């Protein structure tokens, strides 16, 4: 009987310790800077709340590379109170898309949490001045629908999002590149180039690596002298499995328009 009572007391004590903990909860765990000029410092402040019942202490914030500098609330954060983590990305000498993580270490019940910053750094180049004639005769990219909702899908399940492009310019439109901040997409244009007045389909194959609600941006580079960097976005809810209600499978295309 004595052993049972001791065991019960130890169980209750350990339960009390488990229940008395701080919890860190972020308002958002990912921030997309969009386009950043090369050389600029891109800064965003993540806000979090201690939703537990004990003081919260953030002991460290470790970025995935030296290009990101974090600053955070050092003093204890009482239950119900808020703190911040400021992430600054140095874009100097880093043109192209980026997606960086910051690992947050604390005394919370969820002791290790990861937050993300991403975006596209536009290369700093010498200003190119085109003549009025060149601009007038340039191809012109028009995207029929710039944002799509892909719905629910499984992690690592490839889905093709189709974006209709139109050339309203005077010469052939060529797509030179299409980069995403998640590094989880590939692209292919349905035709070698789009003639004046013509249309083409830009197929973006999405291969998600992260679960949860995702918003991805794909930056399109073309030979449109008036707008050589367009973009499209899509949303998806990525699940571990869809079970018997699988809506999309690899090599099946998501068609956003009839």
The per-residue pLDDT string of the chain (258 residues; one tens digit each, 9 = 90 and over) reads: 555 554 544 444 444 445 679 999 999 999 999 999 999 999 999 999 999 999 999 999 999 988 899 999 999 999 999 999 999 999 999 999 999 999 999 999 999 999 999 999 998 877 788 899 999 999 999 999 999 999 999 988 899 999 999 999 999 999 999 999 888 999 999 999 999 999 999 999 999 988 889 999 999 999 999 987 799 999 999 998 876 544 444 444 444 443
User: What count of other Cβ atoms lies within 10 Å of the Cβ of residue 198?
Assistant: 14
Query: Spelled out in words, what is the top-level CATH class assigned to the domain 139-251?
Result: mainly beta
Contact between 99 and 116 under an 8 Å Cβ cutoff? The reply is yes
Same fold, 22-122 and 139-251: yes
Contact status, residue 48 vs residue 81, Cβ threshold 8 Å: no
Pairwise CA distance, residues 116 & 119, whole Å: 10
Which run of H or E residues covers position 13?
helix 2-19
Query: 22-122 belongs to which homologous superfamily?
Result: Immunoglobulins (2.60.40.10)
Q: What is the rounded distance in angstroms from the CA atom of residue 119 to the CA atom of residue 42?
A: 9
How far is residue 179's CA from residue 187's CA, in Å, rounded to a whole number? 8
In the chain, domain spans: 22-122, 139-251
């Amino acid at each position: 009987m004595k052993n049972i009572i001791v065991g019960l007391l130890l169980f209750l004590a350990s339960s009390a310790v488990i229940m008395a903990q701080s919890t860190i909860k972020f308002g958002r765990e990912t921030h997309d800077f969009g386009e950043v000029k090369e050389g600029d410092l891109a800064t965003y402040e993540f806000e979090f709340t201690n939703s537990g019942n004990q003081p919260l202490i953030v002991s460290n914030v470790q970025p995935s590379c030296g290009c990101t500098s974090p600053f955070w609330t050092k003093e204890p954060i009482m239950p119900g109170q808020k703190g911040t983590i400021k992430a600054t990305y140095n874009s100097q000498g880093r043109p192209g898309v980026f997606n960086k993580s910051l690992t947050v270490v604390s005394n919370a019940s969820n002791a290790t949490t990861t937050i993300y910053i991403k975006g596209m750094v536009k290369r700093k180049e010498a200003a190119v001045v085109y003549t009025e004639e060149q601009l007038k005769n340039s191809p012109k990219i028009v995207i029929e629908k710039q944002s799509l909702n892909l719905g629910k899908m499984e992690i690592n399940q490839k889905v093709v999002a189709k974006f209709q492009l139109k050339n309203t310019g005077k010469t052939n439109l060529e797509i030179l590149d299409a980069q995403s901040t998640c590094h989880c997409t590939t692209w292919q244009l349905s035709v070698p180039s789009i003639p004046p007045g013509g249309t083409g389909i830009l197929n973006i194959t999405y291969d998600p690596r992260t679960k949860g609600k995702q918003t991805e941006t794909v930056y399109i580079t073309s030979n449109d002298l008036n707008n050589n960097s367009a973009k499209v976005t899509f949303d998806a809810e990525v699940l571990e499995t869809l079970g018997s209600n699988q809506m999309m499978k690899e090599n099946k295309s998501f068609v956003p328009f009839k």
